[in-house]
Every structure is written in C-alpha cells, then in structure tokens.
Chains A and B, each alone.
Chain A
C-alpha cells in the first residue's frame, strides 16, 4: 500500500490459524491500521492478495464484511443514535430478525456492562462506552473473524479487563481475533500469535509461546529502544 511517496505496508505476508488471538504491534505510523484496512477491504492494496475466512478480500469485499466484525479506529458511531439503537439498526442489515437482534443486543449490553447506558446517545457517551458499543456491533452478527483496531486504548482498567475476558471467551468459540494495540501487558495476557510491524514491514511473527524473553524486551529490541534526552532547563538533577 502506498500513499504518494510513502509505502505504508510492504511485503506483508502472514497466516493466522482460526480460533487464535493475533496481536499486531508496532509504533505509531508503522502501518498497523493500513494493514487492518486492507484486510477488511476498506483499502485496496497495489499488489498482492488477502484472504479472510477463505474469502478473497479484494474480489468479494461484501461477502467478507458479512463474516467479519470490525472495530474501526474511529469506532464508526452515529452521534444521535443511542447505544441500543445502533445494535437494532445493524442486526437486520446482517440478516438477523428484529427479535433475534433484540435478544443478542440485550445479552451483549449485559456482558459489556452497557445496560445502564443503553438509551444514551453515542454523542453523549464516554469513550469507554463508545468503544464497548462499537465492540458490541462487531460481535452482534456472530462473525468468524474479528478485526479490532486499538480496542484497549483510552479506556479504564475495568473496561479493558471486561473486553479482554470477552475476547478470550469469543476465541474459545472458534472466532479468530486480529487486533492492534500499544498496551503490551494486555497483549501479553491475551494473544497467542504476535506480529510486530515496523516501517510497513513485518519484523517478527510467531506464536506467543515461542517468545523467549518478555514481550516488552522483544518490542523495544525490534522497534526502537527507549531514549529520553536530558532537559537542562528543568534544573539540576536531585539524585
């Protein structure tokens, strides 16, 4: 994928077995969201091919969207619709009956702790509620693959824990989960397959069980070491 002179993602090749939780790591601008968009048919690659749940993403984008659940980076919510109205709008689009949509919506709202805020318009929801609403939308139609762009960013620990447990439970039901994140501790706990991306190239991809040291060490070794320059105007060091 190329934007003007910038090659955002280049020669990325990988295969994720079904029912796994795959985490894609990398610094800002590494190409994670671009790759995610290509895998969900939202961006067309200049060359190469991608298959999701056995479907060619480029040739059958609509079929792919029917079998995947997506949590976009922007969350994709309509400000004037309530949390519940989002679910009721989307269910029938995926072929669910209104009764089935209601049943699943109730269960998802309960599982994600959105019961109290179900009648709150998305425009007035907290970031965590908005994220959980977008996740509920991604799960509503029982997708075979979940694509989650930064599901843990900007949310409180309890919400992060709730989402994490829900993802583990979903993967146990055979759903493949592909997520991007910067929060290494959560990735370490959830992911059983890890991809590290740097400057649009995959620099590491293996099952998490093959990690020799900590994920944090691997990340800083592969991506870039932490570097904090001294700021002399802060005054003399106290230690």
Chain B
C-alpha cells in the first residue's frame, strides 16, 4: 500500500495548501464587521457566522481525489484494491467530513453520524465511477452566464461581472440581501431603520472586492489590459460599473441610494490598493484584502456616508460620487503611469 499512501500524503499536502487559501477571509471587511458585531451584539453574530460557514463549506466539499489529474491517476500502476483504498482514504481528507461528521454525531447521535459517513462513501464511489466514465479536466468551467453587453466596454464589463460573481463575497451579500428582503416582505412590523443598516452591511460584504479589482486578472490579464488602446480610467470604470451593478441589484430592495453611496465610497478608497498594490485572488474564495488601512478606510466612511444619505439628505450621494470621480481620475492616471 506504499503507492496509495504516497498519493494520499501528496493529496493531504494539496488539501492543506487549498485550506490556506481560505485565510483570505481574515483580510475581508466582512470579518471586520463580524468582529464588531461580536463585540457590540454577540447574540446576532451566529447568523453572520452561519452564512460564512455555509459559503465556505461549498468550495470545500469537492472530491479531494479530483486534485489528481485523471490522466495521471489512470497511468499509475495501482490494483483495484489499491484504487478502492485510495478512494476511501481520500474521503478522510475532505474538510467537510472533518467539520460535518463531529457536528452530526454531536447533534444526531453516533448512529446518525455513521449513516452520514455511509452516505458520503456512496456519493464518493458514485463520483469515482462518474469521473471514470467521463474523463476530463478537473474543475470544469464554473462560469456564470451573462447576456452580452453593448458598447465599447460592454465585453469588459461583462467579463468583470463574471469575475466578480466567482468570489464568495457576492454570495454572502446575496444571503444578507435575501434575508433583509424576506424580513421586509414577511416581517410583522419591520423596523424601517433596519433596511438602511442591512443595505450597508450588504455593501460591506462586497466592499473588499473593491480593494482587489484586478485580483482575478493577475498575472496574464494585466498584460492584455496594457496592450489595449484604453486609458487607465476606462479600465477602472469597466471594473467599477460591474461592481456597482452587483451592489445596486443587492441593495435595491433595501435602501438603494444609501447603498450606492456606500458602494461609491468603497470603490473610491479601494482604487488605491487595486491599482498600486494588486493582490492575486482565487475564484470561489472570499476576496482577501487588507483590513488596515484599506478595509478600515472603506468600512467607516461607507457606513457614515450611507447613513447620512439615508437619514439626512440624498446630497451626500453627490458627495460620494464626487469622491469617486476624483479617485477614478487620480488612479486612472496612476494606472497609465504603470505602463
């Protein structure tokens, strides 16, 4: 069994490296928000932790054995017994099993936990047979289909939208927005002030992406931007339009104008890190930014301007727009200098 053990130990290293990519959440503004809620209102934090937990479990639930290229796996001289051993052993490397099994044993008893392990084994075997019958590259295309957008920048905006929809931040924001909308529609006597706060929480959830707008383009996509006949502000604007579209759709049922004001501020601040300190990001992970200084200077002004727009005057939206336009002009020039 030396062969399967060697493969399993390589898989374990790969799973561990994969797990480390989830550490990006520690630099996400939603983490800052959760810490604040934990301190201010500990009884509410479970809801946010549950959303984050569910979203993290999604990408973690993949078959660990799929990390081995199918062609390579087929080439290894392993007997049928060894292959079955490998398949069962790989199950122990699934992070979902580490979390789910103790949880279910704790809540539903050992019998229930064992039943789940049996079900998971069956699923793994089914996946194994399926991948054997349909060989192909692992991680087949998980792209979000979007309609073609018109205009010179239409293709760029569409691409940026698709990229943005592959970070978990959007889905955390979607869960929050859905929760808020359900509360608004079905709540017995919903508190009108809550919608403003919920809209801003939604914007906080996507705001980190505003710090790493080029993170999914790195490294090769940047070379393409450099050869296109576009000015820096145009490239940034195509990124920002995608961000604002997502933010607008999510906050529309809650508080559109304060949400947009917050999103504009998040972009105005985020341009600095996006253009001058671009960080590579991974798909189907939370965006990893920097809580200090970018996250701090995004979250507090966006909340302040959002609350001012919602409670004092919509003129504050104009202020947010002005700040955004100055940032777009300045960092567009910085982008151009980078050529």
- Please give the residue numbers on chain A whose beta carbons come within 8 Å of chain B beta carbons, in ascending order: 40-44, 61-63, 65-66, 70, 72, 74-81, 85, 88-95, 98, 121, 124, 137
Say whether A80 contacts B166, CB under 8 Å: yes
Is B339 interfacial (CB 8 A cutoff)? yes
Across chains A and B, the number of contacting residue pairs, with CB separation under 8 Å, is: 85
Q: Which residues of B contact A43 (CB under 8 A)?
A: 339
Q: Give B284 Cβ to nearest chain A Cβ, in Å.
A: 12
Which of B93-101, B150-158, B182-190 contacts its partner? B150-158
Interface status of B229 (Cβ within 8 A of chain A): yes
Does B132 have its Cβ within 8 Å of any Cβ on chain A?
Answer: no
Give me the 4 closest cross-chain CB pairs, A-B, nearest first. Answer: A89-B155, A76-B224, A76-B223, A65-B229
> B231 interface residue, CB < 8 Å from A?
yes
- Chain B, interface size category, equals 20 to 34
Cβ of B124 < 8 Å from any Cβ of A?
Answer: no
Q: Chain B interface mostly helix, strand, loop or mixed?
A: loop
CB distance from B219 to the nearest CB of A (A): 7
Residue of B155, B158, B166, B230 most packed against chain A (CB within 10 A): B155
**Shortest distance in angstroms between A55's beta carbon and chain B's nearest beta carbon?**
12
Map CB proximity to A onto B129-166 as digits: 1 under 8 Å, 0 otherwise: 00000000100010100001011111110110011001
B220, A77: Cβ atoms under 8 Å?
Answer: yes
With A41-B339, A42-B339, A93-B156 already in contact, the answer to whether A76 and B221 are too (CB < 8 A) is yes
Q: A70 — which chain B residues lie within 8 A by C-beta?
A: 227
Can you report 20 A-B residue pairs in the complex whose CB atoms are below 8 A from each other?
Answer: A44-B339, A61-B339, A62-B231, A74-B219, A76-B220, A76-B225, A78-B159, A78-B220, A79-B221, A80-B143, A80-B163, A80-B283, A88-B148, A88-B155, A90-B228, A91-B155, A92-B152, A93-B229, A98-B148, A124-B137
Task: Decide if A90 touches B155 in the complex (CB within 8 Å).
Answer: yes
- The residue in chain B whose Cβ has the minimal distance to the Cβ of A68 is B227
